[in-house]
Amino acid sequence: MNIPEGSTKTQAISTGIAGFDGILDGGYASHRVHLIEGQPGTGKTTLALQFLLDGISKRERCLYITLSESKDELRQVAETHGWNLDGIEIFELVPAELSLDPKQQQTVVYASGPGARRNDENDLR
């Protein structure tokens, strides 16, 4: 990565996926919002959970905000990968009975510096 003279490289926060960190030059740039967009079933939730689980492994506070999946559905996704979501606070922002357009799903990941909270605002419309 070429960095212009007089600027400094932003600290990278691991995605929790070594190969993806390599592609991103170390991970997500800290203090930035990253939008992961895709159709249902393309791995947005899995990517977000890996990011948060990496934070848990580093004793960071982690928060997952969902607008479409229930806590139980998230735990089921995690179980298919053999993951335990203990330590990740899950906040359901919209009641499950509200139907959102499944064609428009995004995941927003905000990476911040050491000791900060990892956030995932899932499926924003």
- pLDDT tens by residue, 42-75: 999 999 999 999 999 999 999 998 877 889 989 9
12-122 sits in which CATH class? alpha beta
Structural domain boundaries in the chain: 12-122
- pLDDT level of residue 123 (50, 70, 90 thresholds): very low
pTM of the model as a whole = 0.69
Question: Do the Cβ atoms of 36 and 109 come closer than 8 Å?
Answer: yes
Question: Do the Cβ atoms of 46 and 77 come closer than 8 Å?
Answer: yes
